[in-house]
Amino acid sequence: MKKIFGTFLISCLILSLQAQNQDDIFRYSRNGISGSARTSGLAGAWGAVGADASAAALNPAGFGLYRRNEIMGAISVTSTQTNTSFLGNNISDGRTMINIPNIGLVFTWLDNYKGRDQRNGLVSATYAFGVNRLQDFQSNVQYSGNNMNTNVGNYFALKANGKDSTNFFSSDLDNELYAQAWRLVLIDNASSPNHYKSRQDLNGDLQYTVRQSQSIQTRGRINEWYAGGGLNFSNIIYLGASLVLKDVKYTSENVYNEDLLTTSLANKTYQSVKVGQSLKTTGTGVGGKFGLIIRPVDFIKIGIAYHTPVRLNLTDNYQNSISITNNNGKTFEQPGRLDYYKYQIVTPASLNLNAAITLGKLAVFAVDFETVNYSSGRLQSVDKFGDFSKANTNNAIVYGRASNIKGGVEFALNEYRFRAGYGLLGSPFNDSKVDGSQQLISGGFGWIFNKQLFFDLAVSDRIGKDYITAYEGNISAINTSHKLNFVFGGGYRF
């Protein structure tokens, strides 16, 4: 079983939560499939097709392809199913919820001369407002297994080494897990000053088996509010831009347990240890998106879009706790305290290339390519006391450039539309031995009534893996997830 030392998306959940790290940068930088039911049916490959309010999340030049006003929206049912493997055991869990992935309002001005649409110069201008959901953090994960090689006390001792234990009762350390572990005598001073060992090591208990289990519940989302527009020049060149406000909400509840099953001692050092962590992160950030679409011939459109970095102003509210049950069945607890920390994350920019081929009124074929350098994301302090140099260095070591490609097709039969799509999100990790890629498989159906009222249905499945390391030096659990998303949308053109 491969060991992965605290470098991945849900890794190091036992680390003190005020120590923000590279995983926080990545969490708020990677987007999922977003937008309307129509774009979801093509796995999000809609950048060059345009004339959809979700263009704000893809290529805002798509606003320039509108010919009418439009109001649209969608509702989705998302089911996230997980299967986590740890030390030969597999546990499945899941979470289902309802959300609103897309709302948009579009106004289009056409330059009419003597009752005819212009064909040269500025043909139309479009203004759009709305919101797209970029990411969902809804999941339940569990795993459990018997470990004979390491325990969480060893990790806490490692983190305490070099620190003066006379400070461990300071209120400033109430949320530091190594200080809580020392207060509960899960770790203690060894022979040399400021050096610590786990209680098991101090007692000479070197042959043991612990039952390790963890439950992780995450909730939240990233919404992107936008105000944008597009211009149509001679039905050949389309320009667009949007101002976006990212709205972040993320919560996690993590409970880690160790039960001492067997020991080389006559009596157990302890019966069990429980570590709890609660985190709530909220914040906003402003960015921009700029796009260009060119139609060299009537049935081909080629696009390019640039999404600027977004500086997120975030606040973490967190609380850590440890409880230990001794041999007499008595439980002692260090409950920690509710605390907060403010900081910034600058998400990486992205470059998007798009293409679409339209075969009359029969079909549309589309492909989108995106490249993102996740190593360029960074943490920043809001005061002179914060130092994120180590976290930013780790981010550049762990994460790299990822390329995402999506393709889709829409067939038309009278007033009906049939859609299918596929996407491959490249691995964001520099280590080629770790597969962090994800697949998107989608399909959809649409119906247009009287060229004004339309309804759409889409279903997509996002498949990927996460690597969960409870603490540095422990074996990683491998979590395979399926995020099944049903989107029901509709709108009215006027």
Asked if residue 14 lies in contact with residue 277, where contact means CB atoms within 8 angstroms, the answer is yes
To the nearest 10°, the Cα dihedral for 129, 135, 136, 140?
A: 180
Q: What is the pLDDT of residues 353-382, one digit of tens each?
A: 999 999 999 999 999 999 999 999 999 999
Query: Is the pLDDT at 6 greater than 50, yes or no?
Result: no
Q: What is the pLDDT of residues 143-185, one digit of tens each?
A: 999 999 889 999 999 999 999 999 999 998 999 999 999 999 9
CA angle 441, 403, 250 (to 5 degrees): 70
Q: Once rounded to an integer, what is the mean pLDDT over residues 208-215?
A: 94
- The first and second tokens of residue 316, run together, are 């973490």
How much of the chain is helix, strand and coil, in % rounded to 5?
10, 55, 30
Q: Give CA–CA dist 368/31, Å, rounded.
A: 14
Query: Which pLDDT belongs to residue 387?
Result: 87
Using alpha carbons, select from 308, 382, 313 the residue that is nearest to residue 348.
308
Indicate the residue type of 148. M
Q: Give CA–CA dist 215/144, Å, rounded.
A: 9
Indicate the residue type of 400. G
Q: Give CA–CA dist 353/274, Å, rounded.
A: 49
Q: What is the pLDDT of residues 108-150, one digit of tens each?
A: 999 876 556 678 899 999 999 999 999 999 999 999 999 998 8
φ/ψ of residue 16, rounded to 5: -60, 130
Q: Give CA–CA dist 249/10, Å, rounded.
A: 17
Which helix (H) or strand (E) segment holds residue 158: the answer is helix 152-160
Asked if residue 29 lies in contact with residue 347, where contact means CB atoms within 8 angstroms, the answer is yes
Query: Which pLDDT belongs to residue 113?
Result: 62
Q: What is the mean pLDDT of the chain?
A: 91
How far, rounded to the nearest angstrom, does the alpha carbon of residue 235 sit from its chain's CA centroid? 37
Indicate the residue type of 137. F
Query: Which pLDDT belongs to residue 266?
Result: 64
Query: Is the pLDDT at 302 greater than 70, yes or no?
Result: yes
Query: Is the pLDDT at 55 greater than 90, yes or no?
Result: no
Query: Which pLDDT belongs to residue 204?
Result: 85
Q: Once rounded to an integer, what is the mean pLDDT over residues 406-431?
A: 96
CA angle 414, 417, 421 (to 5 degrees): 150
Report all structural domains of the chain as residue ranges with CATH numbers, in order of start.
22-148+207-493 (2.40.160.60)
Q: Could you tell me which residue, 18 or 328, shows the higher pLDDT?
A: 328
Q: What is the pLDDT of residues 216-259, one digit of tens each?
A: 999 999 999 999 999 999 999 999 999 999 999 999 999 999 99
- What percent of the chain is predicted at pLDDT more than 90? 79
- The first and second tokens of residue 323, run together, are 């409880």
Asked if residue 270 lies in contact with residue 186, where contact means CB atoms within 8 angstroms, the answer is yes
Q: Give CA–CA dist 180/195, Å, rounded.
A: 16
Three-state SS at 55: helix
